[in-house]
Structure 1
């Protein structure tokens, strides 16, 4: 199935680099290039049948910048489910935090090398196009020691396998399994503000065992972290469902990414370590205090 990607950036050279990197690794994609936020919104409204699977957008653009465009996008009910990834030259943590507060799914700092653009393409392909590629990293996962990953999965065999494969390449990583929506909520409620801020990634099944439980967990997590006044960790939905309604509902509740479970988990869940790598080494996220989970 052909997937559309809207690439919104006023810098032609950057558009070329991103396009070439994506087209070198992703199959069946069509990239539509736009140069500012106003053009994006007009194109979305005038071409409803050409809704994209993903929007890649710069922050600093003329006429309407990325922040203004994202705000307008998320205020339109019929468009807010479209995932948006900021790709910006700025590493300013205030801009990073602002992007996520407005509803961006990810924030990536533009690289200076071809290899950097390849890493971006790998991250986008894995997290948003449901296509796993061999890892671009070499050796064990960097930046994993002391990290905390919460896996919310009601299938005990899947949960055990996921934990084994994640820790195989990241032995210093702490995997915390929750087997139901109720146990996950109870776990997060037991954490104080510091411990909550120490969660680095949340992987959640959508059907726990029903769709409603998964969506309720997504909504509750956002509200809970907001009430505590701390940035939430990236939330990746990992589901056996590839239905558009499930994907759109998850993105409306601000899941950062949605990945369809592989048909053969035993042979394919190995991408999970790369998923951690993507969020800790390629994406930028608001700074949080370092702490362990008791």
Structure 2
């Protein structure tokens, strides 16, 4: 691990979406280290190992097998060691109920998966450049949903 790199976790069951996300990160000027997980259980097991490097931000797909994004979000927010990690929900769902539930459960931003690569790069860069200390202290529904 390199110092000053932004450590990013992505829990996403769709292989194509993982690949696109990885390519978007690679194209950005922001130095990152990406760890990808095929489902929420994989990520949570890794995070709870104890000797794991804590990510700076977690991107969670809502609809995953075994353990979905909402279950991961709730588990993270109930864990003293994980609850301060910013969580970006990264989902195809634009359901108001999903958006509301993730907001109430403590997610920091909600991203509707963009339908093209340049929009994906733009939204990922915007999320990674946020000042999370400021963002979490001023969390409201107006700055929660990211649409590009």
Q: So what's the TM-score if we normalise by structure 1? A: 0.45
CA radius of gyration, larger in: 1
Q: Is the 8 A contact 2:46 2:52 kept in 1?
A: no
Question: How many equivalent residue pairs?
Answer: 142
- In the other structure, the counterpart of 1:38 is 41
Residues 48 and 101 of structure 1, relative CA distance in 2, 3 Å threshold: farther
Q: Show structure 1 runs of 4+ deviating over 2 A.
A: none
Structure 2: gaps of 5 or more residues? none
Are the equivalent residues in 2 in contact too, given 1:4–1:54 (CA < 8 A)? yes
Shift of 1:116: 1.4
Distance 1:73 1:49, change over 3 A: same
- 1:38·1:64 contact (CA, 8 Å) conserved in 2? yes
Give the aligned CA root-mean-square deviation in angstroms. Answer: 2.2
Distance 1:49 1:26 in 2: 26
Unaligned runs of at least 5 residues, structure 1: 130-235, 239-250, 257-275, 285-294
User: Aligned equivalents of 1:108 and 1:49: distance in 2?
Assistant: 26
> Secondary structure of the residue that 1:237 maps to in structure 2?
helix
Q: When the two structures are superposed, what TM-score results if normalisation uses the length of structure 2?
A: 0.86
Give CA deviations for 1:197-255 in whole Å, capped at 9, x if unaligned: xxxxxxxxxxxxxxxxxxxxxxxxxxxxxxxxxxxxxxx718xxxxxxxxxxxx5xx65
Which secondary structure does the structure 2 equivalent of 1:60 belong to?
coil
What residue is the counterpart of 2:72 in the other structure? 69
Matched residues in 1 for 2:115 and 2:41: separation?
Answer: 28
Separation (CA, whole Å) in 2 of partners of 1:83 and 1:76:
13
**Counterpart of 1:112 in 2: which secondary structure?**
coil
